């Protein structure tokens, strides 16, 4: 599929890049869960939907330096399973030439449908070297980067930014500079770098930024349930959303969005469904990382079991599990306990339309 941000059906629904989380296994899990909605649609409804609500996944950032240095581990992180497409690969770095070469290498090796440039990451490891959000303080360098990456690839190039470094209004001017440089789409996480994850993502600011550019804009930050997706779209008038923490342990956020877009009632996520998907995700995770991957799957388990009443006693076994069998046993214990299993992030939960602060 060829990706064209301006022409694809709106609203654009996408998974936000998250380091150590949005790998191939998780992206496949999301696509699987959403594919189930299609089974509920009639042929006529499918034609009417015309691709609306089909999520686009943004893979976690990779270092342009590492790609150009020939680090195979990093390049392997950009491998794509066919089920994940369309997919956008995010890259980070401070040198426009290195960024351009890395984008070209990734294109030639795995051919993602789009490239995204990280200009929003606040962590010191990146920003001390004019990477990530620090690029917002260097508009000329940022522009050059967009121009050079665009020239190196024949797929759309998007940029993910923050509201600003310390001034939240900075994105208003910066987004115009990126548009002039040729960016095809901008996502804004409407908190400053200085804020980190504190306070709320300023959805009114996104509306203001969107009004100032003619390329598509995706809203990001605090879109933690399917209902909040529609509330944020209404408030920001953005072309779509990029969902991060709301998707962790909750791939159903995307199936529920698709159901709502199709005019269906969102299906509540039962405990049986939760367990079925955790097992499938675990299989994909092991396929990617081997049996040793069980330990790195624990971070996903933490998210899958978040906000479920009565779950606490079952967590210890799962969070210390070191084999697939132990995970399966722990999940069976949960099923045997007959918990209702409705998470606070489910569309049918009474608080699903409320904005809440989520820790990172």
Ligand X SMILES: Cc1cc2nc3c(=O)[nH]c(=O)nc-3n(C[C@H](O)[C@H](O)[C@H](O)COP(=O)(O)O)c2cc1C
Q: Using CB under 6 A as the criterion, which residues of the chain lie in contact with ligand X when the complex forms?
A: 16-19, 21, 60-61, 90, 118, 120-121, 160, 189, 220-223, 243-246, 360
- How far apart are CB 63 and ligand X at their closest, in Å? 11
- How far apart are CB 331 and ligand X at their closest, in Å? 23
- How far apart are CB 255 and ligand X at their closest, in Å? 17
List the catalytic residue out of 68, 101, 121, 178. 121
| Cβ atoms 218, 12 nearer than 8 A | yes
Q: Which is nearer to ligand X, 23 or 113 (CB)?
A: 23
Buried b (16+ CB within 10 A) or exposed e, 178-198: bbebbbbbbbbbbbbbebeee
At residue 179, the 3 state secondary structure works out as helix
> Which pairing describes strands 56-63 and 185-192: parallel, antiparallel, or unpaired?
unpaired
- How far apart are CB 165 and ligand X at their closest, in Å? 15
| Cβ atoms 352, 226 nearer than 8 A | yes
Q: Which is nearer to ligand X, 129 or 340 (CB)?
A: 129
93: left (phi over 0), alpha (psi -120 to 50) or beta: left
- How far apart are CB 325 and ligand X at their closest, in Å? 28
- Unique residue bearing structure tokens 């956008």: 88
Q: Which is nearer to ligand X, 22 or 255 (CB)?
A: 22
Structure tokens at 199: 């306070």
- How far apart are CB 119 and ligand X at their closest, in Å? 8
Q: Which is nearer to ligand X, 117 or 294 (CB)?
A: 117
User: Residue 42 phi/psi, 5° resolution?
Assistant: -75, 165
- How far apart are CB 268 and ligand X at their closest, in Å? 22
- Residue of 220, 205, 192 whose CA lies nearest to 133: 192
| Cβ atoms 220, 187 nearer than 8 A | yes
> What is the sign, positive or negative, of the torsion defined by CA atoms of 2, 60, 138, 144?
negative
In the bound state, the residue with its beta carbon closest to ligand X is 244
Angle at CA of residue 324, ends 323 and 328, nearest 5°? 120
- Residue of 310, 286, 123, 290 whose CA lies nearest to 300: 286
- Unique residue bearing structure tokens 């649609």: 41
Structure tokens at 99: 């960024």
Q: Which is nearer to ligand X, 96 or 246 (CB)?
A: 246
Q: Which is nearer to ligand X, 291 or 354 (CB)?
A: 354
Distance, CA of 107 to CA of 125 (rounded, Å): 26
The yes-or-no answer on residue 27 being catalytic is: no
- Unique residue bearing structure tokens 């405990």: 271
At residue 116, the 3 state secondary structure works out as strand
Q: Which residues are catalytic?
A: 121
């Amino acid at each position: 599929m060829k990706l064209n941000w301006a022409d694809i059906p709106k609203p654009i629904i996408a998974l936000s890049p998250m380091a150590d989380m949005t790998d191939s296994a998780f992206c496949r899990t999301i696509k699987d869960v959403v594919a189930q909605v299609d089974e509920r649609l009639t042929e006529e409804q499918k034609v009417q939907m015309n691709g609306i609500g089909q999520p686009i996944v943004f893979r976690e950032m990779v270092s342009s330096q590492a790609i150009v240095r020939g680090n195979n581990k990093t390049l392997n992180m950009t491998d794509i399973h066919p089920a994940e497409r369309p997919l956008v690969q995010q890259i980070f770095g401070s040198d426009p030439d290195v960024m351009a070469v890395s984008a070209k290498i990734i294109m030639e090796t795995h051919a993602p449908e789009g490239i995204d440039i990280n200009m929003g990451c606040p962590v010191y490891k990146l920003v001390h070297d004019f990477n990530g959000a620090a690029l917002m303080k260097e508009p000329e360098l940022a522009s050059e980067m967009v121009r050079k990456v665009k020239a190196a690839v024949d797929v759309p190039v998007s940029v993910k930014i923050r509201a600003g470094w310390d001034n939240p209004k900075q994105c208003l001017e910066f987004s115009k500079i990126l548009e002039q440089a040729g960016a095809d789409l901008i996502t804004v996480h409407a908190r400053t770098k200085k804020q980190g994850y504190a306070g709320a993502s300023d959805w009114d600011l996104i509306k203001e930024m969107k009004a100032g550019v003619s390329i598509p804009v995706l809203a990001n930050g605090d879109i933690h349930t399917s209902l909040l997706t529609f509330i944020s779209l209404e408030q920001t008038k953005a072309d779509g959303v990029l969902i991060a923490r709301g998707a962790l342990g909750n791939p159903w956020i995307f199936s529920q969005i698709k159901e709502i877009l199709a005019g269906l009632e969102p299906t509540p996520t039962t405990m049986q469904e939760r367990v079925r998907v955790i097992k499938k995700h675990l299989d994909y995770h092991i396929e990617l990382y081997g049996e040793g991957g069980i330990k790195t799957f624990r971070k996903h388990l933490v998210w899958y079991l978040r906000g479920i009443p009565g779950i606490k006693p079952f967590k210890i076994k799962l969070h210390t599990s070191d084999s697939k069998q132990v995970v399966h046993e722990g999940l069976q214990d949960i099923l045997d306990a007959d918990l209702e299993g409705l998470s606070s992030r489910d569309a049918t939960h009474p608080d699903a339309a409320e904005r809440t602060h989520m820790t990172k």
